[in-house]
């Protein structure tokens, strides 16, 4: 197992274990096997190349319809999915809460069933309620991709994070990954805890005690109450966005105080390893959880994450809608 997990992205395609993609949906990292994650990351590599071409488009999903059903505002995730679908030649339909008949009181299930009746090939959903995508996936034949559900999971974010680390560090297994900030409310943290742990990395969490999930150690991770404590050993430092409205909720006293204790800056980063990777799912609060010098600095891979987000979403749309269902799984 460790051998499989430890492969760099430079290995030959022919050497990789091939899986037949069997899943209908992408709902969370928790539901994915190590082999499935590896297969997604390998597939992502092929699609990343497309966006570097002069003509950034392949005909893979021509005549397919992808619906982006977003019940929460979003720029980067929605745009990333839309660009991914279009680069595969799919038609895209964007539906946002404000313009939706949800204002008329229709239930989520009825909205989804109605969209399904128009014969789309994939529904990408973001919803503030944890489990909303799972509910839809159970009730519908069409593939569903979770683009973020409440504080539960954000699997495509974790997959792009895993891809970015594997691309930069050459491996995932054995790495020490620090995730810092509001762990309690973060679907990004939750998905990445599952993802990095599954792939053999060691996950270290740091944040204020008010933002520590109950019994988080049961997930096989380590808890730290100070940012400084996780810096020296970390191969990866992933900063989480602090939701400014949490201050009113009493989760931390002031932004200045939060920033002093859990903000990443050049000073606190001094004992870090030479090749440490600085990550952030965005949008960043400059000067709060991360200083501009670090966000724009040499160790930051924040914009690589964004670039890889398009590639990982192309790979997922391809796997769920376009094929590989017939591939050989015997070598697994």
Applying CB under 8 A, the span of 5-13, 105-113, 250-258, 263-271 interacting with its own copies comes to: 105-113
Q: What are the residues whose beta carbons fall under 8 Å from the beta carbon of 186, sequence distance 6 or more?
A: 151, 240
Rounded least distance, CB 123 to its own copies, Å: 12
130 binds its own copies (CB under 8 A): no
Rounded least distance, CB 180 to its own copies, Å: 19
Rounded least distance, CB 80 to its own copies, Å: 6
247 binds its own copies (CB under 8 A): no
Please name the residue ranges forming H helices in 23-144.
34-48, 76-87, 108-117, 132-139
CA separation for the pair 161, 236 (Å, rounded): 10
The dihedrals phi and psi of 144, each to the nearest 5 degrees, come to -120, 135
Answer for which of 75, 254, 330, 331 binds its own copies (CB under 8 A) is 75
Answer for which of 46, 100, 197, 247 binds its own copies (CB under 8 A) is 100
Answer for which of 11, 20, 24, 57 binds its own copies (CB under 8 A) is 57
Site map (CB under 8 A) of its own copies, residues 264-303, x = contact: ------------------xxxxx----------------x
Q: Collapsing DSSP states into helix, strand and coil, what is residue 144?
A: strand
Task: State whether the Cα torsion 312-231-214-182 is positive or negative.
Answer: negative
Applying CB under 8 A, the span of 31-39, 71-79, 182-190, 252-260 interacting with its own copies comes to: 71-79
Q: What are the residues whose beta carbons fall under 8 Å from the beta carbon of 55, sequence distance 6 or more?
A: none
107 binds its own copies (CB under 8 A): yes
Answer for which of 6, 106, 293, 324 binds its own copies (CB under 8 A) is 106
33 binds its own copies (CB under 8 A): no
| Cα distances (angstroms) measured from residue 237 to each of 76, 122, 200, 214, 225 | 21, 33, 16, 22, 15
The dihedrals phi and psi of 255, each to the nearest 5 degrees, come to -60, -40
210 binds its own copies (CB under 8 A): no
Burial of residue 112 (number of CB atoms within 10 Å: 0-12, 13-18, 19+): buried
Answer for which of 9, 46, 51, 265 binds its own copies (CB under 8 A) is 51
128 binds its own copies (CB under 8 A): no
Answer for which of 3, 15, 54, 326 binds its own copies (CB under 8 A) is 54
Rounded least distance, CB 119 to its own copies, Å: 5
DSSP 313: H
CA separation for the pair 122, 71 (Å, rounded): 16
Applying CB under 8 A, the span of 68-76, 125-133, 157-165, 229-237 interacting with its own copies comes to: 68-76
Residues 83, 89: contact at Cβ < 8 Å? Answer: no
Q: Which residues sit opposite 35 in a β-bridge?
A: none
Q: Which residues bind its own copies (CB under 8 A)?
A: 51-57, 62-65, 67, 73-76, 78-80, 82-83, 86-87, 91, 93, 95-96, 98-107, 110-111, 113-121, 244, 282-286, 303-304, 306-307, 309-310
């Amino acid at each position: 197992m460790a051998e499989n997990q430890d492969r760099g992205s430079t290995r030959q395609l022919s050497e990789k274990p091939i899986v037949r993609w069997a899943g209908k949906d992408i709902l969370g990292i928790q539901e994915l096997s190590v082999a499935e994650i590896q297969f997604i990351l390998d597939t992502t590599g092929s699609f990343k190349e497309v966006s570097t071409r002069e003509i950034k488009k392949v005909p893979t999903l021509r005549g397919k319809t992808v619906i982006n059903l977003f019940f929460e505002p979003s720029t980067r995730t929605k745009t990333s999915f839309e660009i991914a679908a279009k680069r595969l030649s799919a038609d895209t339909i964007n539906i946002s809460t404000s313009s939706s008949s949800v204002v008329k009181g229709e239930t989520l299930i009825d909205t989804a069933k109605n969209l399904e009746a128009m014969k789309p090939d994939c529904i990408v959903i973001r919803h503030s309620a944890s489990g909303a995508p799972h509910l839809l996936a159970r009730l519908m034949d069409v593939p569903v991709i979770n683009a973020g559900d409440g504080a539960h999971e954000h699997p495509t974010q974790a997959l792009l994070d895993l891809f970015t680390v594997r691309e930069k560090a050459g491996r995932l297994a054995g790495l020490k990954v620090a995730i810092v900030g509001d762990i309690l409310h973060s679907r990004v943290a939750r998905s990445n805890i599952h993802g990095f742990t599954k792939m053999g990395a060691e996950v270290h969490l740091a944040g204020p005690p008010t933002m520590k999930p109950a019994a988080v150690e049961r997930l096989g991770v380590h808890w730290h109450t100070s940012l400084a404590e996780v810096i020296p050993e970390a191969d990866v430092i992933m900063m989480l966005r602090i939701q400014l409205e949490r201050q009113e909720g009493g989760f931390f006293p002031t932004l200045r105080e939060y920033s002093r204790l859990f903000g990443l800056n050049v000073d606190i980063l001094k004992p870090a390893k030479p090749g440490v990777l600085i990550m952030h799912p965005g949008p960043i609060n400059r000067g709060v959880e991360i200083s501009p010098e670090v966000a724009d600095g040499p160790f930051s891979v924040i914009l690589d994450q964004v670039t890889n987000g398009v590639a990982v979403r192309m790979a997922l749309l391809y796997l769920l809608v376009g094929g590989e269902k017939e591939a050989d799984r015997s070598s697994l």
